[in-house]
Amino acid sequence: MPDRQRHQRNDPPPLPDLSFLDKGYYENGALRPDLLDKYAKELGEDFARKDGYKVKSTQMRRFYGDVKELESRVEREAGADIFESADASKLAKYLALIRMLKSKAAYAAGRETVSRAFERFIVQSVDQIKTPRDFRAFVLFFEAIVGYYYGAGGEKNR
């Protein structure tokens, strides 16, 4: 087999289309239902099964745990009602910690414990977070992805 064909066959799959995130988490003032349904299902199943997209279950748990810990910290320090706010200044104290998720994803992708597709998902999702309300939407979106991931057999990814 020519080297070119072999190289093409071993190339990672193209990154998933995440352009739906460009619309943000909300539409007409409400959380977009397609995020928690259609898109979460697609990504969860991709991360569970597809070659080149696969995420190890330990890493999925780790990232999900990091996100939930951040959510708990914000809620504990600022109160649960903060997540109803669209005031960006209320999230300023926590934004650097939230943005650290991007570097953690880059590190994990570099070590090949998560796919570049997962890294891209984290980066693009975190980039959409501007307000406490956005952060809560991201947490719910990620929670839905994790549910679909395990529903598709992601726990077998070791």
First to last CA, the chain: 31
Instruction: Give 33-60 pLDDT, tens digit per residue.
Output: 999 999 999 999 999 987 778 899 999 9
Q: What is the pLDDT of residue 7?
A: 40
Q: What is the pLDDT of residue 2?
A: 45
Q: What percent of the chain has pLDDT over 70?
A: 91
Residue 145 CA: distances (Å) to CA of 44, 88, 110, 121, 155 = 5, 25, 22, 11, 13
What's the predicted TM-score (pTM) here?
Answer: 0.88
Mean pLDDT, the chain, integer: 89
Q: Where are the domains of the chain?
A: 31-156
- Radius of gyration over alpha carbons of the chain, in Å? 17
Per-residue pLDDT, averaged over 96-116, amounts to 95
Q: Among 10-24, 35-49, 51-65, 98-112, which is the least confidently predicted range?
A: 10-24
